[in-house]
Structure formats: C-alpha cells, structure tokens
Chain A
Amino acid sequence: MRTALARAGVSTGAPALSSSPVGLILRLLALAVIDVFALLLAVSIGGDGNIFLALAIVATALIVTVITLVPGLWPLRWMSPALALIVLMALYPMFYTLYVAFTNFSDGHRQSKVEVAELLAQRTYLPEGGTSYTWTPFGNEAGDSYGLWLVDAEGNAFFALPDQPLQPVTPGVSGSGPYDEAGIPAQMDGLNVLQGGERFRALTTLQTMQFGDPASPVGIKSRNEAGAFVSKWVFDAGANTLTDMEAGIVYQADDSQGQFVAPDGTFAPVGYWVPIGLNNFARITGFFSGLSNFGPQFLTFLWRFVAAVVAGWGVYRFFGKTDIMEIWLVRRVVVPLLLLAVFAEPLLNLFDTLLPVPLFKVFGWTVAFALLSVLTSFSLGLFMALILNRDFPGVRVIRSLLIVPYAIPGMIGILIWRGMFNSNVGVIPATLRDIFGSSPAFFNDPGWAKFMILLVNLWFAYPYFMLLCSGALQSISASIYEAAEVDGANTWHKFWNLTLPLLLVAVGPLLIASFTFNFNNFLLIEGLIEGGPPIAGTVAPPVGHTDNLMTYTYRFAFSAGGTRDFGYASAIAVMIFLIVGTLTLLQFRLTRRWEEVGENV
C-alpha cells in the first residue's frame, strides 16, 4: 500500500509556494517583472488599436500569475511556460485569423478610420490666397542647413528655420552686415545669404522643405512667393465625411466597405479597415454561383454516383459467389471500371463547367497532388521495402544510400532538381534533347510541370514509406504466409490478400497524415516552380497551374507585385483549416489517440 499512500500524498499535498524564502522572493520578483512588462506592452499595443492582441497578452500574463499565486494550482506551474506559449502563439493567431477573414484588411485598408483620418490630417498643401511671403534663402557652406528670410504683405519680416517657430526680425538690424537695400543681412544664425547661382542650385532642395512651426509650416510656392501650408484633408466625425480641401471634394465614408466615396463614385486614395462580414467567403463561393449550369450538372453527377454505388452493391451481392468473379481481373478491374463509367461522364461534364474557375483549378490540383503524392510514394516505398526485405550482403548500405534524399534538407533537394530541369541548360532537358531531339517544356507546359513536381516529390518522399514499410513488414509473422502456402496461395495472392491489408492497418493513419502534410505542401510547389506556369487571364496576383491552396493563399497575402489582401487570404486559410482539421481528427480517430485521453495512465 506504499504506492497508494504515496499517490495520495502526491495528489493532494500542495507544497508551499517555494521551499525557501529566497526562492519565494525570486519567484515573486520574476512574476512581477513579467506582469509589468506584459501590462506595458498590452497598454501600448491596445493604444495602437489592436485590442485583440492586447487582450491576448493580458490573458497570458493573468494565467501565469494565477497559476503561480494560487497554491491549489501547483501542478500547473510545471506547464505555465507551455500554456503561455500555446495561448499566445497558437490560440491567439487562430482566432485572429478567423477575425481578419471577416474584415477587408489589405494594403490600402490597414488602419482604422480614426487612424486614417489622423494620418491624412498631416498631409498639407499650399492654398491659393493664403498668407503669402516674399522669400530670400540662407544656407551654410555644406549645403545641408537652410533658412528663409520672409516678408509678408504688410512688410513684417521673419526669419524661419525648419521645425522652429517663425522669429520676428528687423531689417537692417538683425544678423550681421553688410545689409542689402531691403535691409537683409549677409549672415544670420550662422547661415549665409544665397544669391544668383547659389540661390538657383538650392531651389530644388528648398522646394521640398518646410520651415517654421511644424503645426503651421511655411513652404516655397514659386520663384518669389512663399506661403503657409494648410491641411489637405479634413475629417468630420459627426457628418462622417472626409473633405479634400485642395480639390474641394467631399467624400462620404462608407463603413460597409471601408472606403471614402466621392459623389461621382470615385474613392479617396486611402481606405480604412472595417469588418465586412461574409464578403471574403462570398468571394470564394461567388466563383461558383456565377455558373448557371453548375446546379443541374452536379445533380446529374450525384444521381449517377448513387446509381453506381447501388449497382456495385448489387453486382457483388448477387454475382460475388459465381465463377466469373473468381477471376482476379474481373473482380478487381473490369467491374470497377464498368461502374466508374456510369458516373465518369457526368463527372467530366462537371469538371468542364468548373475548370475555367481558377480557385477550383487550384483546389482540384491541391487534392490531386496530395492523393497522387501519397499513392506514388507509398507504392514505390512498399515496393522497395519488399525488394530489400531479405538479408543479403550490402543491404544495410543500400538502404542507407536510398534514404539520403529523405535526409537532404527539402529546399536544397528541390533547388537541385530545379537546376537539373532548367529549360535551357539543365542536364535533364539537355540529355533528352541529345537522345530524342527535343525535350518537354517542364516549366511552361502545365501537364509536364505537374509530372515534374510528382517526380521530385517521389524522390524525397518515398524513402519515408520505405522505412515505415520495412518496419511493418518485419512485424508480420511468417506463420501466416506458411498457412497461406498450404492453402495454395501464390506470391501475388499472398501480397494482395495478406501483406497489403496487414500493412495498411499499421500504416493507414500515417497515410492520412502524409495526405494532410501534402495538402499544405508549400515548399515543393514554391521551391520548384513557384506555382507556374500562370493561368491565362489571372492578374494581380497571377495564379499558376501548379499553385496549391497554400501557395495561392501566400500569393494573396505576400505577393510582391499586387495588393496584399490579408482578409481574403485569411478566409482561404480558414477554409483550409476546416478541411485539414477534419482529416486530422479522422486520423486520430483511427489511431485511437482520442481514447488515450480518458485512460488513467
């Protein structure tokens, strides 16, 4: 009963906060530092308008504080760094992605309306008929410091330096002489008066500068005239309008799309960030809703599919025991092909309707690539595992050499292939040209591009399955095969009816994991071909024939050329979340990891 006693002691005996007073003080001190730091950060970030991140930081600090201070929560102290990281780096990004997916957050819509108004208020222009001065420039020898001698309409003179209030001066007295006929000094505040050629050379610089108090600066309007700048944009929160003072246009803020709209329907140069509800998702589904014959074709496909399933069930139910079905070819190939033919035609029609839609193409290729990738690399991996499933001299060395591609860092291996496939001088097209006189355009022909991707994928993916299958094959007991041989099974039967089913039980969940991984395979597509060749008619950003959902998302969020649309990219990410999440849960269901949670181990 020692164990039981110990367990009781372990579970209920909450130790003091720390064994020694020094440890206690150190821990409280560390906690205080963390809390103060987190609070300062949260207040600053909240002040910028990012309430959700501020809340996430406060929540993280709160969790750590409560865990440390409440004695009953001592087991959680062991995991407080992990919990903090999960909340801040996994949970918060997840929810924030969901939030951004419902907004128009993108280049040109990156700030809230108030922030945009504040930024615009800083833009100024020189109005006609404002305060006007005549000006005389001053500068130093190095040409990096300038001042202006200004005289207004009433004859009052001022000396103006950048970022300093105008300083009233008296002609003929201020500065040091000699003075010219208007009383302007040769030197003032360490700057020399600029004349003739000097004045001309300084003009380009002077035109870009603002002098005097930054709140109401003065700048050069023409060769002789200087004027006071005023704000170009005025935001009226009450009327919810933005006025362009220079052009005299009143823009009405449209909070449903985050734009300032002029009476003639044009937008102000900057928009702002607003929630736009389901618009991003509508954009995704909108691709499909415009297709008028999609509905009927989908129904045709659906009903033929159901018919094929029913027919298949019938065939195997009623003819399964007959002689003809004993033939492997009939059972495994002819009948399935006949059934496939029933719904193949509506399926192809459906594809024909959808194929012009870039997003559908991307989705189709994403699924096709993930499936083909798993299928090819598993098949070759299993095949090689069977070949090497014997002891012969050198088998260990061969196996080690075969897994070298798997061990090479992915990006490096991919780039090596990219060089070897190089259209002009790569070794593969060059060799093909030597032998056949011509070579396929691996980077410009969509079909060959996909072939190339699958080949490169096979190169570094199949050793993974070879390793897995080798292990699994060794765990299959030899006695099953002996029993099968007694029953007269040949090699093919044994493989098809024994080896494969047993392997699939062991490797099945990992096949799903591999499918999920390849569904998100950004590295291969971007590293090898960057999604190309582009689909005709897609611009800003161009979508390619080999783009998968992940590279497609990346292109919308981070493409160098077009507008970066974080809202739309997040909406697609949410859709991938749903697909991948379902698959992963299915995988856990198969591995029974879920049940492990309940076990009292």
Chain B
Amino acid sequence: MSNIGTLLGRFLTSWTARGIVIALALVFALFPVIWITSASFNPTGSMSNQTLIPSNVKNLDDLLTNYRRLFDDPQVPFWRWMFNSLFIAVVSTILTLLITSLSAYAFSRFRFRGRRSLLLSIFLVQVFPNLLALVALYLMLIQIGKYVPLLGLNSYGGLIMIYMGGGMAVNIWLMKGFFDTIPRDIDESAQVDGATHWQSFWYLIFPLVRPILVVVGLFAFVGTFNEFLLARVMLNERETWTLMVGMFSFVSGGEFSTDWGVFAAGSLIAAVPIVLLYLSLQRYIVSGLTIGAVKG
C-alpha cells in the first residue's frame, strides 16, 4: 500500500503531471471566458453558428455588431443598468465604511456601561442573514414607499438601506477587530495634547486603518454590485434594474434565443472592470478571505 502511495505521490510531484494538471485547470478556468469573448465579436450574434474564431467578418466594423446592438436597443438600457448598479454599490459602500468605522472606533476606544452587552447584541444580529427576511423587507418597502417614494420599491434609497442594514453588524465586528490592533497609545497621547476624540479619529486612526478600509470596502462594493436576489425583488421596473437583474432578463425570453452575442458583449463590459479590480487588489483579498469575508 505504501508503495502505491509513494509512487502516486512521486508522480503527482513530477513536473510532467504538474504541467498536465495546470494546463487542464487553465482550460477549465478560461474556456468560458474565451468563448464569451468570441461570442461578443461574432457578427451573427446567435449561438448556433458561433465558432471560436468569429467567421463572416468582412471588416473590422462587423466585429462590433453586438456592441452596437447592445447600446442601441431601447429594450436593453445597458448604461442605465450600469449606472444603477454603480450608484447603489458606491453610495452604500461609502456610507457603510463611514458609519461602521465610527461605531467600530467607539467600541474599540471608549469604555462605557453596556458596552459588552451591546457588542453581544450586535454579534447575535449578524447570525441571521437578511436575505431570509426577504418577505418582511419587501412588505416594509411597500409600506414606507407609500409615503416616502425615495425609500420604496423601485428606488435606489430603499435598496441602499437594505444593503447597509444587512452588512452593518458584520462590518462593525470586522472593523472593531482591526481598530483593536492599533495601539491605544497613539490616540491617547494625542488626547493628552488636547486633541478631541473626533480629531484623533479622523487625523490619526483613519489614515492608519486605510488598508483595512480597502478590504472591507472592496468586499462591500463587489458584493453589492453582484447582488441579485434582493435587487430582483425590490426593483420591478426595467429602468430601475441593476446590471445583474438586467443581464438575467436575457434568459427569461427564450434562453438567449437571438441575444447571445448582445449578452456576451454586455457580460464582458460588466465583468472586465471587476476582474481587473480583483486581480490588482489580490494581496488585500487574501487577507480579507481569512477574516471570513464571503463573496456575495
């Protein structure tokens, strides 16, 4: 038995085996990406006659057929969806970072009665994902939206509030952990010199935790940008959809039937910035992963 183990181990560690495995893994990882890229440049735009190298291309202009259709089709307000997604993701990320870092600073630096029980309560809230309160959130937006349309269904405000509320408890806990690693001596000596809490927070601590803000901010941004279920339930009008809800609509009317190329073009435009963001911030991501941030 141990002989087989040794042989297997030796083969797996050999460079030939390594090469084969890596090649297979690369094909598995990249084939869909290559295929969708090719589809986006295929002038006929349909799935059935797609080839890996786009055929029927007479001039360079033909390559962009799908992109033109994507931008011109009034049924697919692509840039509007992109704007909706970016707006919701950027606003909720910035607000989340501000609000959670304030709370985390207070929990990390101040000692007050009820601190422990408050921390525990917030801790327990995060045990329940707000995804499960979907029905309650939906009814809530209907009820509030009757009087404040800015926070109702089909509004940016309602969805932003839901995203912020859902991530609040988790993010406070993450951030507090980071604030705790920064020596208290730093802000205490500043306060001896007469700085207020606000000044020591804003001018001393905030710059120090910037790498952490990048991690939390990146996960909040990408998570919100990619979120589908809540957006689909809360946004019912085509104009208010986020990009992910909009892209999903390509399959609702007959499995991409004639839209495969247009979908491919939209997918590439939507995915490339996010992929580049991930790859450029790779080292931050690894640290984010180990503290339990889960991709949405």
> Would A91 and B132 be within 8 Å (CB), given that A45-B147, A415-B248, A464-B289 are in contact?
no
Task: Give the chain B neighbours of A584 by CB distance below 8 A.
Answer: 126-127
The interface bits of chain A over 65-104 (1 if a CB of B lies within 8 angstroms of the residue's CB, else 0) are 0000000010110110111011011111110110010000
Q: Decide if A566 is an interface residue (CB 8 Å cutoff).
A: yes
The interface bits of chain B over 253-296 (1 if a CB of A lies within 8 angstroms of the residue's CB, else 0) are 00110001001000100110011011100100110011010111
Task: Give the chain A neighbours of B212 by CB distance below 8 A.
Answer: none
Tell me the residues in window 27-45 of chain A with beta carbons closer than 8 Å to chain B beta carbons.
40-41, 44-45
In Å, the complex CA distance between A492 and B3 comes to 10
Task: Give the chain B neighbours of A89 by CB distance below 8 A.
Answer: 130, 137, 161-162, 164-166, 168
Among residues of B, the one whose C-beta sits closest to the C-beta of A82 is B103
Minimum CB–CB distance from A401 to chain B (whole Å) comes to: 6
The interface bits of chain B over 184-215 (1 if a CB of A lies within 8 angstroms of the residue's CB, else 0) are 11001101100011000000000000000000
Task: Give the chain A neighbours of B173 by CB distance below 8 A.
Answer: 593
Q: Decide if B10 is an interface residue (CB 8 Å cutoff).
A: yes
Cβ-defined contact, A557 with B135, below 8 A:
yes
Cβ-defined contact, B127 with A581, below 8 A:
yes
> Would A493 and B5 be within 8 Å (CB), given that A79-B102, A522-B229 are in contact?
yes
Option from B9, B26, B50, B136 in Cβ contact (under 8 Å) with A491:
B9
Q: Decide if A315 is an interface residue (CB 8 Å cutoff).
A: no
Cβ-defined contact, A467 with B123, below 8 A:
no
Task: Give the chain A neighbours of B120 by CB distance below 8 A.
Answer: 597
In Å, the complex CA distance between A1 and B73 comes to 71
Minimum CB–CB distance from A418 to chain B (whole Å) comes to: 6
The interface bits of chain A over 216-257 (1 if a CB of B lies within 8 angstroms of the residue's CB, else 0) are 000000000000000000000000000000000000000000
Cβ-defined contact, B275 with A90, below 8 A:
no
Cβ-defined contact, A416 with B267, below 8 A:
yes
Option from B1, B47, B143, B165 in Cβ contact (under 8 Å) with A85:
B165
Task: Give the chain B neighbours of A601 by CB distance below 8 A.
Answer: 108, 180
In Å, the complex CA distance between A10 and B226 comes to 42
Cβ-defined contact, A492 with B6, below 8 A:
yes
Q: Decide if A200 is an interface residue (CB 8 Å cutoff).
A: no
Tell me the residues in window 417-437 of chain A with beta carbons closer than 8 Å to chain B beta carbons.
417-420, 422, 424-427
> Would A427 and B35 be within 8 Å (CB), given that A97-B135, A467-B286, A492-B5 are in contact?
yes
Minimum CB–CB distance from B139 to chain A (whole Å) comes to: 7
Cβ-defined contact, B110 with A85, below 8 A:
no
In Å, the complex CA distance between A409 and B271 comes to 6
Tell me the residues in window 66-91 of chain B with beta carbons closer than 8 Å to chain A beta carbons.
none
Cβ-defined contact, B133 with A94, below 8 A:
yes
Minimum CB–CB distance from A556 to chain B (whole Å) comes to: 9
The interface bits of chain B over 110-137 (1 if a CB of A lies within 8 angstroms of the residue's CB, else 0) are 1110011001101101111111111111
Option from A82, A96, A517, A596 in Cβ contact (under 8 Å) with B99:
A82
Cβ-defined contact, A79 with B228, below 8 A:
no
Minimum CB–CB distance from A204 to chain B (whole Å) comes to: 31
In Å, the complex CA distance between A48 and B146 comes to 10
Task: Give the chain B neighbours of A412 by CB distance below 8 A.
Answer: 244, 247, 267, 270-271
Q: Decide if A349 is an interface residue (CB 8 Å cutoff).
A: no
Cβ-defined contact, B21 with A517, below 8 A:
no
Among residues of B, the one whose C-beta sits closest to the C-beta of A57 is B144
> Would A570 and B228 be within 8 Å (CB), given that A10-B109, A408-B275 are in contact?
no
In Å, the complex CA distance between A45 and B256 comes to 43
Most buried by A among B102, B105, B248: B248
Option from B1, B110, B147, B248 in Cβ contact (under 8 Å) with A329:
B1
The interface bits of chain B over 221-260 (1 if a CB of A lies within 8 angstroms of the residue's CB, else 0) are 0100110110001000000000010011011000110001
In Å, the complex CA distance between A417 and B267 comes to 12
Report the 7 A-B pairs with minimum CB-CB distance, sorted nearest first.
A89-B165, A491-B9, A492-B5, A407-B278, A93-B133, A78-B106, A79-B103
Sample of 25 A–B contacts (CB below 8 Å)? A3-B188, A5-B192, A9-B191, A11-B112, A41-B147, A48-B143, A75-B112, A78-B103, A88-B161, A89-B137, A91-B125, A100-B135, A384-B21, A408-B33, A409-B244, A416-B36, A420-B32, A422-B47, A427-B50, A509-B292, A510-B292, A517-B294, A557-B138, A573-B133, A593-B123
B interface vs A, CB < 8 Å? 1-2, 5-6, 8-10, 12-13, 18, 21-22, 25-26, 28-30, 32-33, 35-36, 39, 46-48, 50, 99-100, 102-103, 105-112, 115-116, 119-120, 122-123, 125-140, 143-144, 146-148, 161-162, 164-166, 168-169, 172-173, 177, 180, 184-185, 188-189, 191-192, 196-197, 222, 225-226, 228-229, 233, 244, 247-248, 250-251, 255-256, 260, 263, 267, 270-271, 274-275, 277-279, 282, 285-286, 289-290, 292, 294-296
A interface vs B, CB < 8 Å? 2-3, 5-7, 9-11, 15, 19, 40-41, 44-45, 48, 50, 53, 73, 75-76, 78-79, 81-83, 85-86, 88-94, 96-97, 100, 327-329, 383-384, 386-388, 398, 400-413, 415-420, 422, 424-427, 459, 463-464, 467-468, 470-471, 490-493, 495, 509-510, 513-514, 517, 520, 522-523, 526-527, 550, 553-554, 557-558, 566, 569-570, 573, 576-577, 580-581, 584-585, 588, 591, 593-594, 596-598, 601
